[in-house]
């Protein structure tokens, strides 16, 4: 386990977030985007918002700099504002990951609270895994709406973009 491997994992996280957004979410009607779903965080809008919120909360703490919050639901198509926020969050995460070193992975970022015993690598793995979980829920919601979706498996991403350790 090293920092380069986590950057690769997050390249997958960002690529799949964008793939689902560009290929599915942007094809939905506003009604479909906000359609109530009786599971987890509800509509596709809220599921996407929850992914963004988790990324911002964990990485905001790791960076020591909070991100702006997801706007409250409003009338009209909110997707441009949500995408702009997501782009900002992704860039902040990428900036953080660019400075990540192997040694940092085995540090405990917090000295108190319920997360005090977590190593940085555990936090990073959790956030990526959390995104996969909620993307799967979005894909299920889309399938329930009749949208043909595809797999989001990391291994398929890796077949197309093999991991190359830095310096090799």
Q: What is the pLDDT of residues 116-147, one digit of tens each?
A: 999 999 999 999 999 999 999 999 999 998 99
SS3 135: helix
Indicate whether 107 belongs to any domain.
Answer: yes
Residue 168's pLDDT is: 52
Indicate whether 47 belongs to any domain.
Answer: yes
Indicate whether 7 belongs to any domain.
Answer: yes
Indicate whether 168 belongs to any domain.
Answer: no
Indicate whether 94 belongs to any domain.
Answer: yes
Indicate whether 165 belongs to any domain.
Answer: no
Indicate whether 166 belongs to any domain.
Answer: no
Residue 63's domain spans which residues?
3-160
Domain count for the chain, please give it: 1
Q: Which of 11, 158, 1, 19 is nearest to 97 (CA)?
A: 11
pTM for this predicted structure = 0.90
| CB-based contact 62:120 (threshold 8 Å) | yes
Residue 7's pLDDT is: 97
Indicate whether 76 belongs to any domain.
Answer: yes
Residue 167's pLDDT is: 58
Residue 9's pLDDT is: 96
**CATH code of residue 11:** 1.20.120.450
Q: Which residues of the chain fall below pLDDT 50?
A: none
């Amino acid at each position: 386990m090293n920092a380069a491997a986590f950057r690769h994992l997050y390249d997958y996280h960002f690529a799949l977030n964008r793939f689902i957004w560009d290929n599915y979410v942007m094809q939905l009607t506003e009604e479909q985007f906000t359609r109530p779903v009786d599971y987890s965080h509800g509509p596709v809008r809220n599921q996407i918002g929850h992914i963004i919120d988790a990324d911002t909360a964990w990485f905001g703490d790791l960076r020591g700099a909070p991100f702006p919050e997801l706007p409250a639901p409003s009338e009209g198509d909110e997707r441009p504002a949500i995408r702009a926020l997501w782009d900002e969050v992704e860039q902040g995460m990428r900036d953080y990951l660019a400075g990540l070193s192997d040694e940092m992975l085995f540090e405990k970022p917090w000295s108190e609270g319920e997360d005090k015993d977590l190593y940085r690598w555990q936090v990073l793995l959790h956030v990526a895994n959390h995104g996969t979980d909620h993307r799967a829920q979005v894909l299920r919601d889309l399938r329930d709406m009749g949208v043909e979706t595809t797999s989001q498996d990391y291994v398929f991403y890796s077949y197309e973009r093999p991991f190359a350790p830095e310096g090799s």
